[in-house]
Structure 1
């Protein structure tokens, strides 16, 4: 298996990228055999939360078991002690951080993939009567939602809440964020889901991004900005509806998200921290 170093992350973690894929038959090498693979993830991490929700929506508890990791890695380099044997078995003399999420192969004791988007898509390859989270013909729409979430919400929110940077740049980032939310508000008015009349991977992507926006990014924005973000009733009603769905709400680890944020974040807390957009705990109570 090839191992390709990733560019250094903002947390100064160093790890290796494993990009194995699960195929649909034995010719693929890694094929979708029930109980062959295992997920290792923390729902407090956005990538881990996406994978956990997709895993539950697909009903893969028996076909692909999950080992849950703590919200805060226990190694100084940002890795998990529990994952180190997998990394060392998969890469000769591996010295980097043993980070999640990981899809491992129980047959070989090695890592298949650490690339969260690939893992999420490959879970849909297990046979069975499962929902079509990546419906045929919706590929471009799903990818457009992923880009919108990554650039128009996630990156814009980070830049808008970065203290010590140019005020004009922060204001422009906030404008980008609000414009993105406004476009989603218009699109979701009168709709239950994003791109189909059922839940798809696009809904998982947007929901996790909104969770991050309210539970992480708002802590670095002023109260006025958070109030403007909250002023999108259709969008946040959509987030609330999905939180009440067992496959979504059951994995929402609010305490873990808070601990992870405080352990990694070095930014300054702003007044928006006191302006909660959704009472996530109340809306997910029925899923417990």
Structure 2
């Protein structure tokens, strides 16, 4: 009997093509100047969603404008047509897809970075500051713990959930992956029963990462799991109460484009849905700040511009 199709389109990872950084002063080349840079984001993409949330938490609307891209990349190579001029201005005849996220420099009309961890770090360290109401997302004494949460979300939640839903995987291997996922959720459940955030009483970058991971778990990975598995995942009341609480925060829920996430997933996924698709863990629209995806597109947070259809770039080298 032929194997059932995988739940995702196989792809070969490639190194990010642009790895510029924002320095601390003019000697760095790229240095922090209000409104010099632009973020190009499609919040249906998990990395873009993390950056959008961080941008809002830091109150960077007036400092670093954001251009919103289509939820589903519209280029023939899987990239965004609107970003193609920017990519080609940055690398002559750039061969790969014009993918988001992008941090661009309006002074040069070129890309600074497309590497999400670097972009997130530069937002916090070069633009974040210590203004009133701004959380300390990357406290130095929690750096190792934040990195550990990053790995946990990527591998023991995201990858485990994806493997547990693979129709072409061995049943025993799927059970092992699900067991690994549930053990992590059990640990988080115990932790969040006694504290407000993943690392204690204060919000950090670990919470941004965890919340986006939980969004993906319920809106994407759940669709390929059986109903019993989804019920076991849902049976973590403190964890999902935490997710609801953050969804109600304007910096989180306002960026949640449920329709866009669904369209992006269906555009790239070749797997069959399982019974878990009918078992929703959380009503994200009801609990999210801003309500529904339709309202999201009408009421944009500070710093977000209309959907980006084309870029008007300065000639290369202009000041």
1:114-263 map, 5 Å: 114-124=114-124, 125-126=126-127, 127=129, 129=131, 130-263=134-267
SS in 1 for 2:288: helix
Q: Where in structure 2 are there 5+ consecutive unaligned residues?
A: 1-8, 296-319
Tell me, in whole angstroms, the C-alpha distance in 1 between the residues paired with 2:280 and 2:156: 21
- Taking structure 1 as the reference length, what is the TM-score of the superposition? 0.93
The structure, 1 or 2, with the larger RCO (C-alpha pairs under 8 Å, 6+ apart) is 2
The answer to whether the aligner puts 1:269 opposite 2:278 as a matched pair is no
Number of aligned pairs? 280
Moved more, 250-259 or 276-285: 276-285
- Does structure 2 retain, via aligned residues, the 8 Å contact 1:14–1:97? no
How far did residue 233 of structure 1 move? 0.6
- Does structure 1 retain, via aligned residues, the 8 Å contact 2:89–2:109? yes
Q: Which residue of structure 2 aligns with residue 46 of structure 1?
A: 46
Q: Which residue of structure 2 aligns with residue 5 of structure 1?
A: none
How far did residue 131 of structure 1 move? 2.6
Tell me, in whole angstroms, the C-alpha distance in 1 between the residues paired with 2:290 and 2:162: 32
Q: Which residue of structure 2 aligns with residue 3 of structure 1?
A: none
Q: Which residue of structure 1 aligns with residue 29 of structure 2?
A: 29
Tell me, in whole angstroms, the C-alpha distance in 1 between the residues paired with 2:204 and 2:289: 23
Q: 1:94 to 1:286 in 2, by over 3 A?
A: closer
How far did residue 17 of structure 1 move? 1.9
Tell me, in whole angstroms, the C-alpha distance in 1 between the residues paired with 2:181 and 2:24: 39
Tell me, in whole angstroms, the C-alpha distance in 2 between the residues paired with 1:239 and 1:16: 30
- Does structure 2 retain, via aligned residues, the 8 Å contact 1:42–1:100? yes
Q: 1:74 to 1:15 in 2, by over 3 A?
A: farther
How far did residue 196 of structure 1 move? 3.9
Tell me, in whole angstroms, the C-alpha distance in 2 between the residues paired with 1:240 and 1:52: 18
Tell me, in whole angstroms, the C-alpha distance in 2 between the residues paired with 1:212 and 1:59: 25
Q: 1:13 to 1:271 in 2, by over 3 A?
A: same
How far did residue 34 of structure 1 move? 1.0
- Taking structure 2 as the reference length, what is the TM-score of the superposition? 0.85
How far did residue 15 of structure 1 move? 7.9
- Does structure 1 retain, via aligned residues, the 8 Å contact 2:102–2:114? yes
- Does structure 2 retain, via aligned residues, the 8 Å contact 1:41–1:101? yes
1:68-83 map, 5 Å: 68-83=68-83
- Does structure 2 retain, via aligned residues, the 8 Å contact 1:13–1:97? no
How far did residue 27 of structure 1 move? 2.4
How far did residue 195 of structure 1 move? 1.4
Residue among 258, 264, 283 paired with 2:287: 283
Tell me, in whole angstroms, the C-alpha distance in 2 between the residues paired with 1:270 and 1:241: 28
Tell me, in whole angstroms, the C-alpha distance in 2 between the residues paired with 1:132 and 1:173: 34
- Does structure 2 retain, via aligned residues, the 8 Å contact 1:11–1:264? no
Tell me, in whole angstroms, the C-alpha distance in 2 between the residues paired with 1:14 and 1:92: 19
- Does structure 2 retain, via aligned residues, the 8 Å contact 1:15–1:96? no
Q: Deviations over 1:23-78 (max 9, x none)?
A: 22222221111111100011100001000000000001110000001111111110
